Amino acid sequence: MSPIIGFAPDSDPTIVGVLMECVNIIPFESGFMGAPSPTPVQAAPLPAPCSGAAVVMRLDGGRRIFATTQTKIYELASTVWTDRSKAGSYAGSPDARWSICQFGDTTLFSNLSDPMQLSTAGVCSDVPTAPKAKIVVSASNNFVLAFNTNDGTFGVSSDRWWCCAQNNQNDWVPSVATGATTGRLVAKEGAIQAGLPLGDYVVAYKSRGVFLGSFVGASNGAWQWTLIPGGECGAVGPEAVCDVGGVHFIVGEDDFWLFDGSRPVALGEGVIRDWFRRNSSQTFRYRTKCTYDRQRNLVWISYASPASTGDCDRTLAYHLSTKKWGSADRLIQAALNFISPGVTIDGLNAYAASIDSLPETPFDSQYWLAGGRLYAYFNASNQLVSNSGVAGASSFTTGDLGDDDMVTMIDRFRTRFSLSPATATATGLMKMNEGDPLVVGAMCAINDGKFDVRQSARFHRIRVDMTGDHKETAFDVKAIQVGER
């Protein structure tokens, strides 16, 4: 048996164990599995597409769940989206995203089009002295920082940063006494695309540049920014960076990266980098969204395909410890790690009228547990769904099994399942020489744990289509030399 290496479309297809294609197959610690299907969270859809979402935590440990549209800010109260917008709502823009951060007990919202908003409890209000900003983040040393701003003094400044007064998110008037100040990042060209805390630091990302910010005291200008050497690392957009436990995962123009505060490390060379550039929209790549799924140790990367008119309609999955890739395509408006309120037996009737009609989600899933964390997202219907249901249709296609100098006949292909799917079929694909187009062979159903695929060629690929939950770790093909002379 050959261990499955994972989705690596840029690799040599003759590498044993590589997958050249996969649909709704994601990695886990021991192998690969069917991607969970979406399960609706018990809340009505938003009235318009979601343009930002977050779970934030107050100082007392209490949580608030927010979702935004172009013109509204909503908070999830039990199972109801409650409008927390200020009177008159917001203008926004069709392409504007809301950036959300928590500072103590205050939640701040910013979208570059409208005045910065804050809410401690209930309805939001303007932060009068704050700039309009594309990005807001909270730093560990009691500052809020804003990037890519528009204000009455400096105007539109895509490379400008601001910080509020220390310990006071309401005061953004520059002052040595309070620590509030502003500046520009000009050591690298371009706009600031993203920003995110990293331990005691804050990182600002341009499309091809990384700036590490450290607090040096109000008398020294509050913040010092260092341009990090190391290639062309940068972020394609404001949501193309996520924290994966003290390290940043980044989607850049030319590669995927990890950054721990020292030097960026490229991840995709020879594996998936070129494939991603060919299969993602250059026009809408800036809308890419990264979310860390702590329960599965996965980074979900949602992006727009070349055929997309702007929606993020494709998703990759990267497993941090095994460094393997998979895919689970679905349309995602915004993503978050949803905090489940928990369910009791008496409360099941809120989810379905009968046991048989309950969501197809295992009862040991985080979906049912109070405080359980689940990767969740808003789908094409503006509905918040958790990634916790039974896997639907999925498939993987092996690399090229064979040899340039030998014609072989295969009559058996076996996948080592640690959890067998509900249904499974295998289709043979073949070619006589590398570079030739693949010819589709016969399809057969699984039989006694194997697929009786029969075909003759120098190189063979096998596509396995499955339904239902499944896990697999390896595969093998029985090949017999034929046509020798």
Helix (H, G, I), strand (E, B) or coil at 148: strand
Average pLDDT over residues 422-432: 97
Domain identity same for 378 and 469: no
Percent of the chain beyond pLDDT 70? Answer: 91
Give the dihedral sign, CA 251/252/256/260: negative
* Residue 289 placed within a domain: yes
Average pLDDT over residues 13-37: 96
Tokens of 45: 């859809």
Q: Residue 232 — pLDDT band, cuts 50, 70, 90?
A: confident
Main-chain phi, psi angles of 122, to 5 degrees:
85, -145
Domain identity same for 267 and 407: no
Q: Residue 353 — pLDDT band, cuts 50, 70, 90?
A: low
Q: Which amino acid does the sequence have at 217?
A: G
Q: Residue 141 — pLDDT band, cuts 50, 70, 90?
A: confident
Distance CA 446, CA 455 (A): 16
Q: What is the pLDDT of residue 351?
A: 44
Q: Residue 467 — pLDDT band, cuts 50, 70, 90?
A: very high
Domain identity same for 322 and 429: no
> Domain containing 420 — which CATH number?
2.60.120
Tokens of 47: 């009235």
Percent of the chain beyond pLDDT 90? Answer: 84
* Residue 364 placed within a domain: no
Give the residue among 25, 50, 26 at the shortest CA–CA distance from 338.
50
The structural domain count of the chain equals 2
> Domain containing 274 — which CATH number?
2.130.10.10
Tokens of 27: 């990695």
Query: Is 359 a residue whose pLDDT tops 90?
Result: no
Least confident of 139-143, 175-179, 217-221, 251-255: 217-221
334-339: strand order across its sheet: 37-40, 384-389, 373-378, 334-339
Tokens of 2: 């050959």
Reported pTM = 0.91
End-to-end CA, the chain:
29
Q: What is the pLDDT of residue 338?
A: 77
Enclosing domain of residue 431: 2-22+394-482
Virtual CA dihedral for 353, 356, 360, 363, nearest 10 degrees?
90
Average pLDDT over residues 331-347: 67
Distance CA 241, CA 250 (A): 5
Q: Which amino acid does the sequence have at 225?
A: W
Query: Is 126 a residue whose pLDDT tops 60?
Result: yes
Is beta strand 439-447 parallel, antiparallel or unpaired with respect to 450-451?
A: antiparallel
* Residue 185 placed within a domain: yes
Residues in the chain: 485
